[in-house]
Amino acid sequence: MKILVTGANGYIGCHVVVALLNKGCEVVACDIETGDIDSRAKIVKMNLFTEDYSDIYTRLGKPDACVHLAWRNGFVHNAETQMGDLSAHYKFLTALMEQGLKQLAVMSSMHEVGYWEGKIDENTPCNPITQYGIAKNALRQSLTLYCSQKGITLQWLRGYYILGDDAKNHSIFTKICQAAQEGKKTFPFTSGKTKYDFLHIEDLADQISAVAMQDKVNGIINCCSGKPVTLAEQVEAFIKEHGFDIKLEYGAFPDRPYDSPVIYGDDRKIRDVMALNSR
């Protein structure tokens, strides 16, 4: 199976490329920068936002499926680029599909749901409250309509709280690593009571690759653990695991107003996907 991965040089993309290659897929890896992409892939250096889309499907190798991970400023939730880039994402993806692509998997986030307490499934209403969430949700709605009209398989991958490969991440775990390297003994923290759905980057890549390699389970698919854990528990375990001599300064920062007390994914569909992948 030949799979195109956009944003292949990014934090998630590098791991997805490796996971697909290790499962025997032929991978076309596309990004603006390509230095961190596994050399086993066919690497294409390309800016998706400035490219001429004529014959783009052929130029990218006529893939069987596309895993669309490309997204600027994914960690800057209210950046102007969130809505500014939206049309370019839509134009690129619809050009691929108009020219022959039959299966599309797009990476998204729990932030498209907005404020929600508890488990998120594919029927949970979306009321995003950040520019990032608004843009992702708008892309989902437009692609859902387009793909249903064209008979194209759409897999909407909803991510949660990712950890691992912390040098490339922009999470609290990255910041704790930096603080420890600088010799700091304390780290300013929130209450730590918020519960998230944590998933290691390699497990996430395994799930994303498994989704793209099948077309039986489609629509919104939570890439998640399905288990809510408090931020304090996860961070304390991270500090202990790495042997850092650093203590959390609880209450130094307020919890973010758009974060729910507990939010996690319904993992039933991803478990079905992984069962198919193991056969």
Please check whether residue 130 is in contact with residue 258, taking contact to mean a CB–CB distance below 8 angstroms.
yes
DSSP-assigned letter for residue 240: H
pLDDT at position 17 is 98
pLDDT at position 171 is 84
pLDDT at position 260 is 83
pLDDT at position 59 is 95
Angle of CA points 22, 60, 87, to nearest 5°: 110
Q: Digits of tens for pLDDT over the chain (279 positions)?
A: 999 999 999 999 999 999 999 999 999 999 999 999 999 999 999 999 888 999 999 999 999 999 999 999 988 899 999 999 999 999 999 999 999 999 999 999 999 999 999 999 999 999 999 999 999 999 999 999 999 999 999 999 999 999 988 777 778 899 999 999 999 999 999 999 999 999 999 999 999 999 999 999 999 999 999 999 999 999 999 999 999 999 999 999 988 776 789 999 999 999 999 999 877
Q: Which residues are catalytic?
A: 132
pLDDT at position 19 is 98
pLDDT at position 165 is 80
Residue 235 token pair:
């961070």
**CATH, domain 2-162+198-224+265-277, list 3.30.450.90, 3.40.50.720, 3.90.870.10, 3.40.718.10:** 3.40.50.720
Domain parsing of the chain, residue ranges: 2-162+198-224+265-277, 165-195+228-249
In sequence order, the 6+-apart residues with CB closer than 8 A to the CB of 145 are none
pLDDT at position 259 is 76
